[in-house]
Amino acid sequence: MALTDTAIRKAQAGDKPAKLFDERGLYLIVAPSGGKWWRLKYRIEGKEKLLSLGTYPDTTLGKAREKRDEARRLIAEGIDPSAHRQATKAARAEENSFEAVAREWHTKFSPKWTEKHAERILRRLERDVFPWIGKRPIQNVNAPELLTAMRRVEARGAIETAHRALRDVGQVFRYAVATGRAERDPSSDLRGALPPVVSKHHAAITDPKEVGRLLRDIALYEGSFITKSALKLAPLTFVRPGELRFAQWREFDLSGKEWRIPAERMKMRVQHIVPLSRQAVAVLRELRALTGESSEYLFPSVRTWERPMSDMTVNAALRRLGYGKDEMTGHGFRSMASTILNEQGWHADAIERQLAHSERNKVRGAYNYAEHLPERRKMMQAWADYLESLENGSTTSAKRSSTAPAH
């Protein structure tokens, strides 16, 4: 005889577990403690088995019957419902593993990053995070095991990498929280758990006399003309080394004295305008005669003009000129310009905008790539004139004119 809700509610706990049978293998166990558990007895491949279907009243009689019928449909197809449940649970756990969620997060957001930045993040996760917590369900990962993974990175002396990996992990967890696959971000519990990063500044020459000597050495450089042109343009534009070596001719308006670097090549994904001094235009016109018709890049590789020069080319040229890595680097031209221009009184906001540093207000930053442009045009020409004077042995300043508009 089939069970009824009334019979289930009236069932009293006894000294021993009691079974209340429904139909087609479904029954309810009433435990001495008062708990009521649904079970399904079935046979598959000649073996008798039991399947748990939940507890009453959370699982009602009607819901228990639905689960029974679903299980029996699997049995009719030769599928063990217990094994099927375990496989489904495992698949769900794999879908919600830290690695699966992290790769989903990376796929979703990487189109907004530069290609190299996206590669670095994925490589860091694959090397330092996935081997240790990748297969764990993301909602089960806790702060201690996360710290253990970060300690492994720290142990090899890569303190900065450990901090970057922890930051990446935090972004993955916040994405998991937003998509309903984790309740919180345990990486926030690890603030202060890793040793602080000791800042390493890019080596740069900032003494005017030494800058003059460097510029004279560059003028006498006897290597590739393309490399020499890059060395000349680096101090005149003080863009990031990657922005310089990937420069393409279509980005330049020599008549308008302007270089517009597209957003996808900028670190902050915002178009950047570089006003060109007459000295920079002169370097570019001479270089265009060599590479302008044969390559899309200003500075093509020596192996193939279909790719830009190596990221080591400028630094290698500086070493060839006798400047050690602790003395001057390609990135150091930015520090050189920033230090001297600030000392000479140019407006700090104009300098920061020309360096394309990140804007703290991200909404504002998306629209201000042309901010302070009149001041920046004057500054870039004055800076080039100043470098020219240093190269010629003078120490004339590139200070702002008293008539230059303040911002």
340 close to 215: Cβ distance less than 8 angstroms? no
| Cα–Cα distance, 72 to 80 (Å, whole number) | 9
Which of 44, 72, 89 is where one domain is finished? 89
- The better pLDDT of the pair 88, 122 is held by 122
- Phi, psi for residue 45 in degrees, rounded to 5: 50, 40
Shared domain for 123 and 83, answered yes or no, is no
Per the structure, how many domains does the chain have?
3
Phi-psi region at 132: left, alpha or beta (left = phi > 0; alpha = psi -120 to 50): alpha
Those residues with Cβ within 8 angstroms of residue 80's Cβ, 6 or more apart along the chain or in another chain: 44, 45, 49, 74
> Quick one: average pLDDT of 31-50?
89
Shared domain for 134 and 45, answered yes or no, is no
**Of the candidate ranges 161-165, 340-344, 358-362, the one whose mean pLDDT is the lowest:** 358-362
Those residues with Cβ within 8 angstroms of residue 373's Cβ, 6 or more apart along the chain or in another chain: 273, 275
**Positions marked active-site:** 240, 267, 331, 334, 357, 367
Which string of b and e fits 255-292 if b means at least 16 CB within 10 Å?
A: eebbbbbeeebbbbebbbbbbbbebbbebbeebeeebe
Residue 404 in any domain: the answer is: no
Shared domain for 243 and 351, answered yes or no, is yes
Phi-psi region at 295: left, alpha or beta (left = phi > 0; alpha = psi -120 to 50): beta
Shared domain for 246 and 331, answered yes or no, is yes
The sign of the torsion formed by the CA atoms of 268, 269, 271, 272 equals: positive
Shared domain for 85 and 106, answered yes or no, is no
338 close to 355: Cβ distance less than 8 angstroms? yes
Shared domain for 123 and 244, answered yes or no, is no
Give residue 6's identity as a one-letter amino acid code.
T
Range of the domain at 112: 98-190
Which of 64, 89, 114 is where one domain is finished? 89
pLDDT at 400 > cutoff 90: no
Which tokens is 158 given?
């890569």
Summary mean pLDDT of the chain: 88
pLDDT in tens, 189-233: 998 899 987 655 678 999 999 999 999 999 999 999 999 999 999
Shared domain for 347 and 308, answered yes or no, is yes
Those residues with Cβ within 8 angstroms of residue 61's Cβ, 6 or more apart along the chain or in another chain: 3, 4, 5, 8, 22
State which H helix or E strand residue 137 sits in. none
Q: What is the CATH number of the domain that holds 373?
A: 1.10.443.10
Residue 279 in any domain: the answer is: yes
* pTM for this prediction: 0.55
Shared domain for 386 and 304, answered yes or no, is yes
